[in-house]
Structure 1
Amino acid sequence: MFKKLMSIFILAAVTVSLSACSNQKASTAEAKANNNIDVVVSFNPMKEFAEAIGKDKINVKVVVPEGTEPHDFEPKPRDMESISKAKVFIYNGLGAETWVDKTLSTLNNKSLITVEASKGADLIKTTDYDPHTWLSLKEAKVETKNIKDALVKADPDNKDFYEKNYEDYSKKLDELYSEYKAKFDTVKNKNFVTGHAAFAYLCRDFSIEQKSVEDMFAEGEPTPQKMKELTDFAKTNNIKTIFMEELASPKVSETLAKEVGAKVEKIYTIESKEDNKDYIQSMKDNLEKIYDSLK
């Protein structure tokens, strides 16, 4: 009986101790989170870059929900409140988020550090500037530097931490660029077909060319004339893969692929987080699929 009572007592003591440790850890984590820099970002690529630089010293909130085209998004009052209460607000710019200027003009937070991540990028202009700068490994370095500078400004005590994370991330971008620059330099065919014209910056990085079913903002169905041009192009250039994206219409890509006897492959615009891949993984996947289609 005595041994049984002692066993119960010891078990109870261990349970209480473990519970106390668990609560202490939770409290420590909560206190740490409360001391972090509050960062609000417009959509997924900005989240990827901010977390790569800020890691566990920032709390990140995303305004545009997963699966939503950022160009078409309209912020709710709760979104505007989140931005107003943040220390740092990061957006891409160049019209990717048409709602930003109006939103920022209504805020009362004079100390808010705003970051137009694409500022200083080497821009591509058609009728307007192409906003898809994050889909270039080279321009991603510009964007992450702008984000790093803002985090240093918001939290100067941790400058070395942000600087090191930026250098580490830049190295990863450089390594991926070098790997695929060598690969793309070996292919003679430089043309591939996408769902919408999001990949001009990626193309410039590697001296390849995209033909797209839809325009850069994936607006509107292509005309019969545009479809005929794409069909003729695909047949003439022996295109074996038609790429499609999650936020652009897959049906048109599928129709074109069927017409020319090609397969359909998914490619990432990274506007939302897909297949649980981070930015580096998504870009590597994109580059490998495009390279395979050109061989």
Structure 2
Amino acid sequence: MKKLILLLILLSTSVFARVVYTVTIEPQKFFLERIGQSKIKVKTIYEGVNFTKELPHVHFRKFAFSDTYFKIGLPAEDFYAQELLGFNKDIKIVDTSVNVDKIVKNGKVNPYIWLDPLKVRKVIDVMLETLIKNDPDNKEFFESNCQELLKELDKIFLRLKNSLFYSTNAVMVFNDKLDYFLSRFDVRYYMAENKVLSGPKFTEIFRLSKEKNIRYLIVDSSIDYEVYNTWSNANNMEVIQSDIYSFNWFSDLFVLSDKIASKQE
């Protein structure tokens, strides 16, 4: 009887066991869960932490039982990979950005590729290949889910394109996080070189905003933007907060595109 119970426990464990994956950001989790669904478990390094600061060694302990760590090209991920390997030397490290053509400016690679729905397709290809390799019995399940995800990405792309195609508005940004998104959809954008918008710089950007029809100022949702709000009002701009690390990345892009494309009197 005891042997029978033990056998049943082992069988149930094997049937319901899910391959555990670790990713860096929530958008990766979104892609991966859409492909793997109930067959996998996904953990996110940036979930519930202040990732703008160096993460402590102990933070990575919770990911020690992962089979695979999916990178997406962020500079800090080499450090994260070493931390994970320190807890489990058998974790497989997979770079999902390896086949993506990236923007390079002044010798610096822009890592924020997931803001371009077309480039995301190559990220998903690597994820699918890895899931099938780790769990070949569910190959058809993963492939079917992946096809549905790719169809959704196509719809996302077309909606964004249609929303922004006729827009004549320009935007101002303070970093390169939205380069892929803005470039893909031909949105005119201008980079503010510093955060202290006063004196000659204020005058220069005031003139530029009038000449180039700059309607919006896009800032990270994680920062205090009151100073930008005051400044933008003086320049007849509206502040838009953006969170590129959100799990609902596509919904955020819809909101952003609709806002940029809106007509102002």
TM-score (norm 2): 0.82
What per-residue deviation string (whole Å, max 9, x for no partner) do you get for residues 9-42 of structure 1? xxxxxxxxxxxxxxxxxx9xx9699511111111
Counterpart selection for 2:66 from 77, 81, 86: 86
Q: What's 1:38 paired with?
A: 20
User: For residues 232 and 89 of structure 1, what CA distance do their matches in structure 2 show?
Assistant: 47
Alignment of 1:234 with 2:209, yes or no, is yes
- Give how far 1:250 is off: 1.7
C-alpha deviation, 1:238, in angstroms: 2.8
Asked if residue 198 in structure 1 is aligned to residue 180 in structure 2, the reply is: no
Offset at 1:146?
1.5
Q: What's 1:23 paired with?
A: none
The equivalent of 2:98 in structure 1 is 119
Q: State the alpha-carbon separation in 1 of the partners of residues 228 and 85 from structure 2.
A: 39
Q: How does 1:210-225 map to 2 (within 5 A)?
A: 210-213=189-192, 221-222=195-196, 224=198
Cα drift, residue 170 of structure 1: 0.9
Alpha-carbon distance in 2 for matches of 1:248, 1:211: 20
- CA distance in structure 2 between the partners assigned to 1:98 and 1:227 by the alignment: 39
TM-score with structure 1 setting the length: 0.74
| Conserved 8 A contact 1:75-1:99 | no
The total of aligned residue pairs comes to 253
- Paired residues for 1:69-108 under 5 Å: 70=51, 72-77=53-58, 79-95=59-75, 97=77, 99-104=79-84, 106-108=86-88
Structure 1 or 2, whichever has the larger Rg, is 1
The letter for the 2-side match of 1:174 is D
Q: 2:128 aligns with which of 127, 130, 148?
A: 148
Asked if the contact 2:23–2:70 (Cα under 8 Å) also holds between the matched residues in 1, the reply is yes
* Equivalent position to 1:285, from 235, 252, 255: 255
Q: How far does residue 132 in structure 1 lie from its aligned partner after superposition?
A: 0.7
CA drift at 1:249: 4.3
Distance 2:131 2:239 in 1: 41
Gaps of 5+ in 2: 1-8
Q: How much has 1:197 moved relative to structure 2? A: 2.5
Q: How does 1:41-80 map to 2 (within 5 A)?
A: 41-66=23-48, 68=50, 70=51, 72-77=53-58, 79-80=59-60
What is the rounded CA distance, in whole Å, between the counterparts of 1:293 and 1:153 in structure 2?
A: 49
SS in 1 for 2:105: coil
Aligned-partner Cα distance in 2 for 1:192–1:92:
27
- CA distance in 2: counterparts of 1:234 and 1:191, whole angstroms: 9
3-state SS of paired residue (1:86): coil
> Which amino acid is 2:171 matched to?
F
Counterpart contact for 2:72–2:95, Cα < 8 Å: yes
Q: Which amino acid aligns with 2:218?
A: F
Unaligned runs of 5+ in 1: 1-26, 215-219
Runs of 4+ in 1 over 4 A off after TM superposition: 30-34, 222-228
Q: CA separation of 1:259/1:84 partners in 2, compared to 1, >3 Å: closer, same or farther?
A: same
Query: CA offset at residue 210 of structure 1?
Result: 2.5
Output the CA distance in 2 between the equivalents of 1:293 and 1:195: 23
The answer as to whether partners of 1:192 and 1:211 remain within 8 angstroms in 2 is yes
